[in-house]
Amino acid sequence: MAGVNEKSGLGRIEDFIALAGEGKEIHAEVELKKQVVAQKVHPDETEDMKREIDMYLLIADYTFRVGKDVKPVFKVYMFGSSEESPDAAKVNKSIANARLKVDYQRMRDAKITFEEKYF
């Protein structure tokens, strides 16, 4: 059997859920981060929109282990503006955590072992 890193199509959580469904023993580690990025506005937009907007991404970095093979996968769970209100930021964080819970449940159902973490 080819190693995990040699197989094509192993870049999504769903790929590892499918492998676990085939009976493979899979372990995962999850690291969460908030990454700040600058969104550039298209130059043809209105005059007041010709600046960069600081945005953030709530990202989960997964590391899946199948035997000795290791494969990183990342998934963006939410994005928002650095200029948003604290209430909007809380809502975005809640949405990201709800989406994480769905993926965690799918991974648990597939018997992938991991430790849950939340934003």
Cα–Cα distance, 104 to 85 (Å, whole number)? 29
pLDDT of residue 63: 98
The domain segmentation of the chain, as residue ranges, is 4-109
pLDDT classification of 53: cutoffs 50, 70, 90? confident
Q: Is the pLDDT of residue 13 over 70?
A: yes
C-alpha Rg value of the chain to the nearest Å: 18
Cα–Cα distance, 55 to 35 (Å, whole number)? 8
pLDDT of residue 48: 57
- The amino acid at 61: D
Task: Give per-residue pLDDT as tens, 92-108.
Answer: 999 999 999 999 999 99
| Pairwise pLDDT comparison (83 vs 51), residue with the higher score | 83
* Phi and psi torsions of 83, nearest 5°: -95, 0
State whether residue 50 is helix, strand or coil. Answer: coil
